[in-house]
Amino acid sequence: MRKYLLVVLSLLLILSVSIFAKVKIVYWQYYFETKVKAIDELIKEFQKLYPDIEVEHVTFPYESFNEKVASSVPAGTGPDVVNLYYGWIPKYVTSGYLQPLPENEFSDEYFQKNFFAFVPKGVEFMGKRYALPIAVRSLALFWNKDLFKEAGLDPQRPPRTLQELVDMAKKLTKYDKQGNIVQAGLATQPSGQGHHWIREVLTRQFGGAPYSDDYTKVTYQDVPAALKFYTDLITVHKVGYPGFMNDDITAFTSQAAAMNIDGSFRIASLKKAGINFGVAELPEYNGIKSNFASFWANGITKNATGEKLDAAIKFIKFLSSDKVMEIWLEKVGELPANPAVAQKYYNDPIYGPFLKGLEYAHATFFVDETAQRQVMMDAVDKVWLKGISPEQAFKESAQTEQAVLDKFWKSVGK
């Protein structure tokens, strides 16, 4: 009798849970005010769309994000959906944290239809895909229209090729009596976006590639001309140097640099500073255009199983939908990851050049972005501070970076 009652009770319990209880999933991201507000709004929308799903939104300071994730894994209290930098995917996967996106829900066609070409490559690791971006970032050339006018250049005509870039930068550079630069024609800051420009843009324009297709081998040392072009700006043409006015952003914002290569995330602060600036696609060379793109993406953790997994799939699909991308551009100022959405803004004078850049952009597969940025910074420093040849400097950097890559690929057993 008692046994019977127990069975009935437990059946009732299971039944009531499946009928009345909502599926609750937890979403983690780092704290960035506009992003947090946008996600809060979007969760409301999502819950209207799927009343049986509840999303809990948790944020952490950027600095402690990885540590929080790290401590939550063994405790089993982590999120179901996590927002992470695409460059962290290998680490999260090899640590047993992310699960691959189910192929029936996220097919090749799905990616082809909804994202720029660099996205599926950027979220892929060892043949499987792990995350979906809401928005992406790319590089472009910012130029100061007032300083162009002052130097007698047409303020509506930015440089279109590398040759024009050098010529214009020279005209825009001013020196004091002792030969010190007081206004840089072009800010050169490898520690900013400069290292991306050398790696993914200049290297390709000078006829090479930064890495082998599977990112196991460093190959940029084969085109030292790319590094030479960059360091010539500093040592031969003398249009700028790393650290001028502390950094490229300060120099451009305080109108002490006439041009800069920077990311789409800088638009808002430049507008706020009241600079009369224009944005152009990165100058081409040899008829080759290239760009660097990066993004934060939403991945599903191993915590999510069964109903939670279904809810998580719906949630990340919702976050990467056309409508959300449009909201994201307006509220957060990041570029849509979907070419069809991007097309609508192609004629925008500010966003247009960034969006066009996405068509031919590459998202570098970073295994340790800080270390990989450092080798590029060092290559430039060796040339302009130590007088080492670009060939030698690039070779040494490639060796150091190869060791970083080898260590990573060894650790994942490839």
Residues that bind another protein (CB under 8 A): 66-67, 69-70, 73-74, 91-92, 94-97, 176, 178, 180-182, 191, 241-247, 256, 368, 370-371, 373-374, 377-378, 381-382, 385-386, 411
State the minimum distance, in angstroms, from the CB of residue 180 to another protein.
Answer: 4
Query: 51 or 387: whose CB is closer to another protein?
Result: 387
For 217, list phi and psi in degrees, rounded to 5.
Answer: -125, 140
State the minimum distance, in angstroms, from the CB of residue 256 to another protein.
Answer: 8
The answer to whether residues 350 and 132 touch, using CB atoms and an 8 Å cutoff, is no
State the minimum distance, in angstroms, from the CB of residue 172 to another protein.
Answer: 16
Q: Do strands 181-186 and 174-175 pair parallel, antiparallel, or not at all (unpaired)?
A: antiparallel
Number of H helices and E strands in the chain, helices first, is 19, 13
Q: How far apart are the first and last CA of the chain?
A: 60
Query: 89 or 329: whose CB is closer to another protein?
Result: 89
Query: 122 or 242: whose CB is closer to another protein?
Result: 242
Query: 166 or 379: whose CB is closer to another protein?
Result: 379
CA 129/CA 139 separation, integer angstroms: 25
Identify the H or E element spanning 262.
Answer: strand 257-263
Query: 69 or 313: whose CB is closer to another protein?
Result: 69
Measuring CA to CA, which residue among 345, 390, 10, 357 is closest to residue 231? 390
State the minimum distance, in angstroms, from the CB of residue 320 to another protein.
Answer: 24
State the minimum distance, in angstroms, from the CB of residue 191 to another protein.
Answer: 4
State the minimum distance, in angstroms, from the CB of residue 92 to another protein.
Answer: 6
Count of C-beta atoms within a 10 Å radius of residue 346:
11
Q: Which two structure tokens, joined as six digits, stand for 3?
A: 């046994």
Name the burial class of residue 203, with classes exposed (0-12), middle (13-18) and buried (19+) by CB atoms within 10 angstroms of its CB.
Answer: buried
CA 171/CA 202 separation, integer angstroms: 22
Query: 96 or 207: whose CB is closer to another protein?
Result: 96
